């Protein structure tokens, strides 16, 4: 069961600003026959506010009896259903919605008369005054909403999470993003909502372990960028996740070899770091062929894939290519399902002729080429990321990452529809490769395989980890253009000295 919300821990209020000009100006000429939604006395008529953030009643309030049906005023599209500030709301979009900063009296529509348009305000407010008004309104709503959240408890909290996923909330975010710092609207709010959603889910107490699997599955391991077969054989990278670590002793284990889809590392196949920089479509096809072979050799046996970093994306590609038969679970470790900020920065460098070769020269000692197909596919804006789609039905996906991972921070590792788990970390930059040998990560893998929920963590820990991930993502996005510009200014002679 979800854990009850403790009001003393945090108070979150989502304010819904429904402004007419935020809706598209379409189909204004279509006539709509409006009727009162119910036969009941009006207790609070339309009272237009004197300004966009001033008090008033922007609709009509009726006194309805318990169980009395409430109908739509006219045909329309339902764009939101859910609780807001303790009350259930249904929002419909009608065919004759208007564009402009106006408030309409619904009573005029019910009478069949043309709406009396009230412009608010008569003159546009200066941007600074508009921002002050918005902040004042948010402050007032926070004070009023605090009591609602404290009184309603978990139901109100879940209502806020549901609201954040709605189409109408997207309109609000778009409106606020033009008037408030993007860091607040685009990063802080989603991070807090993700943290609340994670905290609300069922959890497993620390120290509680699942029993060993009496029928161990076939374990397929897929390494990440710049891995190599020798390191996997020695327990490095994805080699750190063996049958014992996942509580499945005796599980047949196969490790994917880049560039050699016909053989596995356990069969003598070898690859180097440069082989991991091929396009994900090519690598995904090779893995799909390998999975088909496993199904032939182990008919009817369950297959579990555990993948690190880009290996999770390659595994998803293999599943889409027909390799999902027999696969029960895909568990990814530090996989940037939404693309990597670092890869986006590398791809940005590779787009400019003056910086592509210099960037490759600087990264050559590490074996990484920003011009490679793998870095391009890892970019947030790549066609691979945007076109990958959802995993096939029947495959349970678990995404595990660490809060200090710069290559796959929580917002980049979050996959819609998956079981998303975040592990706390004290490291600044060393989490990406360390996760495959991390005992906490191994525990989350074991729990996921046993169908058990993530380890219990406090709401503060969830919020801290999500905000940390957003901060690291924002820093990389901010400094990537600066790095690209700096590379363009480095003289060739100085570059040779640096490399």
- By DSSP bridging, strand 102-103 and strand 87-93 are unpaired
Q: Which residue has the higher pLDDT, 139 or 459?
A: 459
* One domain, residues 223 and 128: no
* One domain, residues 371 and 477: yes
Q: Which domain holds residue 39?
A: 20-180
CA-to-CA distance for 460 and 97, rounded, in angstroms? 42
* One domain, residues 161 and 226: no
Could you tell me the pTM of the whole model?
Answer: 0.64
- How many percent of the chain have pLDDT more than 70? 64
- pLDDT at res. 40: 84
* One domain, residues 249 and 398: yes
Could you tell me the pLDDT band of residue 485, with boundaries at 50, 70 and 90? low
Could you tell me the pLDDT band of residue 396, with boundaries at 50, 70 and 90? very high
The arithmetic mean of pLDDT across residues 111-115, rounded, is 59
Query: Is the predicted pLDDT of residue 238 greater than 60, yes or no?
Result: yes
Could you tell me the pLDDT band of residue 229, with boundaries at 50, 70 and 90? very high
CATH number of the domain to which 333 belongs: 3.40.50.1820
Query: How many helices, marked H, and strands, marked E, lie in the chain?
Result: 18, 12
Query: Is the predicted pLDDT of residue 262 greater than 70, yes or no?
Result: yes
- Looking at the domain assignment, is residue 169 inside a domain? yes
Residue range 6-60, pLDDT digits in tens? 333 333 333 333 333 333 333 344 567 888 888 888 877 777 665 554 556 777 8
The arithmetic mean of pLDDT across residues 335-344, rounded, is 88
How many domains would you assign to the chain?
2
* One domain, residues 415 and 285: yes
The arithmetic mean of pLDDT across residues 192-216, rounded, is 88
* One domain, residues 228 and 169: no
* One domain, residues 170 and 247: no
* One domain, residues 457 and 322: yes
- pLDDT at res. 29: 44
Mean pLDDT taken over the chain: 75
* One domain, residues 148 and 292: no
Long-range pairs for 117-122 at CB < 8 Å and ≥24 separation?
118/48, 120/48, 120/49, 120/50, 120/51, 120/52, 121/50, 121/51, 121/52
Query: 70-79, 242-251, 373-382, 407-416: lowest mean pLDDT where?
Result: 70-79
Peptide bond preceding 121: is omega within 30 degrees of 0, i.e. cis? yes
- Looking at the domain assignment, is residue 6 inside a domain? no
Environment class of residue 40 by beta-carbon count within 10 Å: exposed (0-12), middle (13-18) or buried (19+)?
A: middle
* One domain, residues 173 and 261: no
- pLDDT at res. 152: 45
Could you tell me the pLDDT band of residue 280, with boundaries at 50, 70 and 90? very high
* One domain, residues 127 and 268: no
């Amino acid at each position: 069961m979800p854990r009850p919300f403790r009001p003393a821990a945090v108070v979150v209020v989502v304010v819904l600003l429904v402004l007419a000009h935020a809706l598209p100006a379409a189909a204004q000429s279509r006539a709509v026959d409006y009727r009162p939604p119910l036969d009941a006395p009006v207790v609070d008529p339309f009272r237009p506010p004197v300004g966009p953030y001033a008090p008033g009643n922007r609709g009509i309030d009726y006194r309805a009896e318990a169980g009395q049906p409430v109908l739509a005023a006219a045909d329309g599209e339902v764009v939101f259903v859910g609780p807001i500030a303790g009350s259930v709301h249904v929002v419909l979009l009608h065919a004759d919605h208007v564009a402009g900063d106006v408030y309409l009296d619904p009573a005029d529509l019910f009478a069949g008369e043309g709406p009396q348009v009230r412009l608010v305000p008569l003159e546009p407010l200066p941007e600074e005054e508009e921002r002050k008004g918005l902040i004042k309104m948010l402050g007032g709503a926070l004070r009023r909403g605090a009591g609602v959240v404290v009184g309603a408890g978990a139901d109100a909290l879940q209502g806020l999470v549901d609201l954040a996923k709605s189409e109408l909330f997207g309109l609000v975010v778009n409106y606020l993003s033009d008037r408030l710092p993007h860091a607040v609207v685009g990063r802080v709010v989603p991070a807090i909502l993700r943290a609340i959603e994670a905290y609300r889910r069922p959890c497993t107490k620390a120290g509680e372990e699942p029993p060993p699997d009496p029928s161990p599955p076939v374990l397929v391991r897929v390494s990440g960028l710049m891995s190599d077969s020798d390191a996997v054989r020695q327990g490095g990278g994805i080699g750190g996740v063996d049958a014992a670590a996942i509580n499945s002793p005796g599980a047949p284990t196969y490790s994917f070899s880049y560039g050699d889809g016909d053989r596995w590392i356990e069969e003598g196949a070898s690859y180097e770091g440069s082989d991991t920089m091929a396009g994900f479509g090519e690598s995904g096809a090779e893995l799909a062929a390998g999975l088909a072979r496993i199904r032939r050799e182990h008919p009817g046996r369950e297959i579990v894939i555990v993948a690190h970093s880009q290996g999770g994306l390659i595994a998803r590609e293999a599943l889409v290519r027909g390799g999902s038969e027999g696969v029960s679970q895909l568990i990814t470790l530090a996989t940037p399902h939404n693309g990597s900020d670092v890869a986006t920065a590398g791809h940005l460098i590779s787009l400019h002729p003056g910086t592509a070769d210099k960037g490759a020269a600087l990264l050559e000692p590490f074996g990484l080429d920003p011009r490679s197909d793998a870095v391009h596919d890892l970019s947030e804006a790549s066609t691979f990321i945007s076109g990958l789609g959802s995993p096939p039905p029947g495959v349970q996906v678990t995404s595990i990452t660490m809060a200090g991972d710069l290559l796959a921070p929580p917002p980049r590792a979050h996959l819609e529809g998956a079981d998303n788990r975040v592990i706390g970390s004290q490291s600044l930059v060393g989490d990406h490769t360390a996760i495959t040998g991390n005992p906490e990560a191994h525990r989350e893998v074991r729990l996921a395989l046993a169908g058990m929920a993530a380890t219990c963590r406090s709401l503060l820990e969830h919020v801290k980890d999500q905000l940390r991930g957003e901060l690291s993502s924002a820093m990389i996005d901010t400094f990537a253009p600066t790095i690209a510009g700096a590379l363009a200014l480095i003289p060739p002679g100085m570059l040779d000295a640096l490399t």
